[in-house]
Each structure stands twice: as C-alpha cells, then as structure tokens.
Amino acid sequence: MKVSDLILENDFLKTLSQKILICDGAMGTLLHEYGIPFDRCFDELNLSSPKTVSKIHRDYITAGADIIETNTFGANRSRLAKFGFENKVREINRLGARIAREAQEVSGEFVWIAGSIGPLGKPLKPIGPVRPEEAQSYFAEQVDALLEGGVDLFIIETFSDLSELGIAIAAVRKACDKPIIAETSFTEENKTFLAFTPEEVVRTMSDFNVDVIGANCSVGPQQLLGIIEIMSHWTDKPLAAMPNAGLPKYIDGRFVYLSSPDYFAEHAQSYIKLGARIVGGCCGTTPLHIRAIKELIDRPEEPKTEKAERPRIEVKDDLFAEDDDISSIESEPSLLSFIGNKQFLISTEIDPPKGGNPAKILKGAMLLKEAGTDIMNVADSPMARVRMSAVTAAYLIQNTTGVEVVLHLTCRDRNLMGLQSDLLGCHALGIRNILAITGDPPSIGDYPSATAVYDVDSIGLTSIIKKLNSGFDYAGNSIGKPTRFSIGIGINPNDNDSNREYDRLMRKIEAGAQYAFTQPLYELDPLLSFLDRIKIPDFPVFLGILPLQNFKHASFLHYEVPGINIPAPVLKRIQNARDQGIEEGAHIASELILQAANLVAGVYFMPSFGRYAQIAGIIKEIKPKLIDIRKKGKN
C-alpha cells in the first residue's frame, strides 16, 4: 500500500474523489463453484463454512479489490425464514462482517468492508404482504448486526422497488452516518422490474441521503453501459457500475456466464469515462474479472472522467514507487541462494545488549561487515539472561548494516500464539532467516523462578515455520500469502549421547530444517564423525567457532558449559600461550576453519565478551585462504 492510501483509508468519500475504487465480484457464483448448491442458504455459510467465505474474500483482495462486500445479501429476517434461520439474523450478519474483516487482516492489504443489504424477497403492500414498518424493522435488525461486526460502509443493492430501497436507506441513516452506495437492478428494457427508468431512479434517489448511486446485476456489461450513461446526465453524485458477466446459459447442469475478463474490463473503462467512480461485478464475475479491471486501471494512461466538474486527481508519494508492494517477497531468502551457489559463508553471532542502547552492537556489526561477514546471527537471551528483544536487535542490525540476519527464536519464552505472532512480525520486518531453538531453561539464568513455556521444542518450532511457509498457521488457518523463511537448527556433534542427537537431527530435517549451525568445536574428528553418520548429500552445516581468550576461559568452557568439549592438546596450547591467549585462540580457530573449509557450508563465529575486533581479525586473515581452498576443492 502507498503512503497516500494510508492517509486516505479512513475517509472513504475523500478517497473516492481522488481515485477509482474497485469493488469485488460475485460471492454466490464462487460458492457454487465450491460445490454449494443454489438451493442452499448462502448467508448461513458464515456460520457453517467461514473458511470458504474468507477464501473468496481473500481471492478478491489479491485480485485488486478496494472494496469487499460481506456475505449478507440475503441475511434479513424475511429471506432467512425460508431456510429456518430467521432467529440467526444478528449472528449471520455480525459474523459476515467479521469474516470480511479477518480476510482483510490476513491479506495485509487495506480494503473497505461494505455491508451488503439486498431486498427482502417479498413485495411491500399493497402488492405484497410486507408492511412498511415491518420492512423497516427487518432492515434495522440487519444494519445493527453489520455495524456490530465492523463494516465501513453499506451497499444496498439489487433493488427494484424504490419505496423498499428508501426504507433500507432510512434504516442505515437512523443507525449511523456511514457512506451508502445504493444500486438498483434493470432488465433488458432498461427498466427495473417495477418499471422504473434510470432517470426516475436517479431523480428519486436524489431525495435520499445516499453518497453513491449505481446499478448492478441483471444485465451484462454492454446493457449496463447505456444505463450508466443515462444516470450520468441526471446526477452529480459518484456512480457505481457492477454488472453481471453477461446473461447466464445453462450448460451441462450448471449456469455459465460468457463475458471474458478482458471484455468485462473494457466496459469498466467505459463506465469510468461516463463518471463511474466505483466499478466491480455481480453474478458470474470472478477474481479474474476484478484482476482484469485492476490491470487496466493501473496502466500508465488511465481513463479520465469526461465531466470537468469531477476531475481525476492522481495521488503520488515519494516513499514508494507506483508499482511497489511493501508486502512483496523474494522467492527465497538470500541465505538459501548463497548456500545453493556453494558460497562459503561467514556468519558472526551478536548478542543483543543487556540495556536499551544498541550503539555498541551496531558499531560491532559495522566492523564485522567491513571485515567480510556475510550474515549475522542474533541470539535470543542466551543463557536465559535478560537482554533486548532479539527481534528488535535483528531488525536494527539488518537495517543499519544491510547484512542479512539469522534470528534465533527460542520456545522458552513464548507460547504457540506468541511464537507465530513474532514470526509473522519478523516476516513483515524483512527478517527471513530463523534458527529454531528450544532455549536454555530459566533455572540457569537471572530469574530461576521464572515460568518457562515450552509449548513446543525446536522440532515443533521447525514444523510451525514450515507450515507458515505453506500459508497456514499451526491450527490450519490461512495466513494469506505464505511466508518465505529459511529454517535453521542447532546441532551438537560433541553431545555425549550421540544417538539421541542424531535422532533429533533427523526429526528436525523431517520437520523442515534446511541447514544447521553446530555448537562450538575445537577439533575436526567430532565433525567428521557426525557428517559421516548423517549421510544426507548437500545438507548445509555451519561450523561453530568460539575463539578462546585464555586458559581460564578455556577451562570454564570445558568443565562448566554443557555441550562444549575442548580436547587436551588444545587446552595445553592455550595454557602455554600465557598472556598471548587471545592470539593463540585466534590461531586455533583459524586452523580448524581452514581444515573444514571443504566439508561445511560456512563458519559460525561466537565472539566472547563482545570482542568483535578479534573476530574481524580472524575473518580478514582467513578469507583469502578460504577462497583459494574452495577453488582448489572445486577443481
């Protein structure tokens, strides 16, 4: 969405004066295509099949609709009584509005939610049995429920009796001052079923308190063109045109509408030239018809209204280009592309600060970028100690440096809802790489009495991310556009229970893992043994490197940190280095990286005590050597 759209979205009428709005198409036609018979109550599907209704809304939003109508056209007490649902008026209408609103939220696009109100299905007295006061109560009941559900405006459509239309409009106006689009339906003789001409319709509606006058249904695009032309001569109000996709033909047991999307869109352009500010479709139209209208309107040479008093005002902004879509995403994260190209990647972990000032980590990130770090891992309160939100830190690092980040996400602090909410938020922020981690228990951190969540472990989290990548949340609800996360996991080749670690790795890969980062290693043998056992060709593994600082540091890691094993020769080397421990630790790390250069997808540095300069020095030293080794390996 453009910035200008964000500014205008709360003022429907102002927006309407500045741009052409596209309404959606048929609901019943698509419900029938989903296998719902025509003799079924379509409005009741808000209760029994909300996902189907929501899917149709989302398809229209994706196609380019600016307005979507609630599935409530026949949801008045009179019509619902035919199916035995007369006591569910409030429930059906309220839920109809909420389904549309949820579809909007899932799509991530702004659209207006229009409460659809159709005629009662029975004529008013003296022709029919419905008294005017009854009609008023029926419409008022529907209007109240739609308002409760959260509609932005009302479309009162497909009316033939102007008296009934006036009663429906009055019911809306008594309840609220939201915009009203009022539409009548015409026959092939250019008259409503009660013989009102377009001129009579417009002149009568001019006395009603409506914002947009229009025509819908009944006839096809060509027939409606003449009706809109007549209407344009008798009113200065904005016009709406929403024809059927032609007259239906009954072929092989089903009704088929023959107007193609391109043909339909060409007529929409003609309506706009006559002054229509809203174009859309009725029976027989589909998202393909709406998409065709959208594409035609978005062409560089947009059609202009012929009326000088209603000029088209083009709203532009400098923040986004004309065709930019801030929700658009690449086919896959760059990290996966790098791995696929067999590029040796250098990653460095950055812990979020313990306070609210990110200056240090951002300076460190810039230093690492200049040294040659390809990606940066952002830890999530490691060792169960309170730090700045990892999501916030990752966003700041990625946007400050331009280097892609891998966000560590733990299951310790978030329940199922929190995990998925954070993942969707990360995706919106442009964070595309997630390392799924179970997380250190609170008992080892600053708040040992804190409650851990652990609704799932890292295997379950991996599965959740994979499901989001398919377009659904953990419960199977659609999230609209699928996410495009890369999914990383942690492994420990040094684990004392190698069978358990191997089994968990296989389960993680089955759940959707695409690459792995190892715990810190200080010799090649555990890595070789683990890689040999995996026997999965081209499964990317990043070698974990935590450079030693001195003998005291090495002893602490070896004896007190679970999962880290430092072999005796390495302990001896760092002990003999004495006050040159940092330099020796860098040499030990460099040697191991170069030995493993053709075995792994990359290296994963974990700076001790925030010593980014040490890592930067190692990167500068080994990067030219890594390039040579990889070239020789390919040859």
Which residue type is seen at 53? V
Give residue-wise pLDDT tens across range 94-147.
999 999 999 988 887 889 999 999 999 999 988 889 999 999 999 999 999 999
The pLDDT tens digits for 285-311 are 999 999 999 999 887 654 444 444 433
The 10s digit of each residue's pLDDT in 397-443 is 999 999 999 999 999 999 999 999 999 999 999 999 999 999 888 88
Identify the burial level of 83 via C-beta atoms within 10 angstroms of its C-beta, where 0-12 means exposed, 13-18 middle and 19 or more buried.
Answer: middle
Comparison of pLDDT for 261 and 57, the residue scoring more = 57
Contact at 8 Å (CB) between 268 and 299?
no
Q: Are 465 and 409 in contact (CB under 8 A)?
A: no
Q: HEC string of 581-627?
A: HHHHHHHHHHHHHHHCCCCCCEEEECCHHHCHHHHHHHHHHHHHHHH
6 and 59 Cβ atoms separated by less than 8 Å? no
This prediction has a pTM of 0.72
Distance of alpha carbon 336 from alpha carbon 330, whole angstroms: 11
Contact indicator for 120, 130 with CB cutoff of 8 Å: yes
Domains plus CATH for the chain? 20-297 (3.20.20.330), 334-548+601-615 (3.20.20.220)
Comparing 341 with 17, which gets the higher pLDDT? 17
pLDDT in tens, 373-395: 999 999 998 888 899 999 999 99
pLDDT at residue 305, rounded to an integer: 47
Q: Sign (positive/negative) of CA torsion 28, 31, 32, 36? A: negative
Angle, helices 458-469/498-511, rounded to nearest 10 degrees: 20
pLDDT above 70: residue 577:
yes
Can you tell me the mean pLDDT for 248-273?
73
Instruction: Report the SS3 class of residue 449.
Output: coil
Residue that is written with structure tokens 């032609």 in the block: 246
Average pLDDT over residues 238-244: 94
Q: Minimal CA–CA distance to 27: which of 75, 64, 67, 60?
A: 60
Q: What are the phi and psi torsion angles at 505 (to 5°)?
A: -60, -45
- How high is the pLDDT of residue 256? 53
Mean pLDDT over the full length of the chain: 88
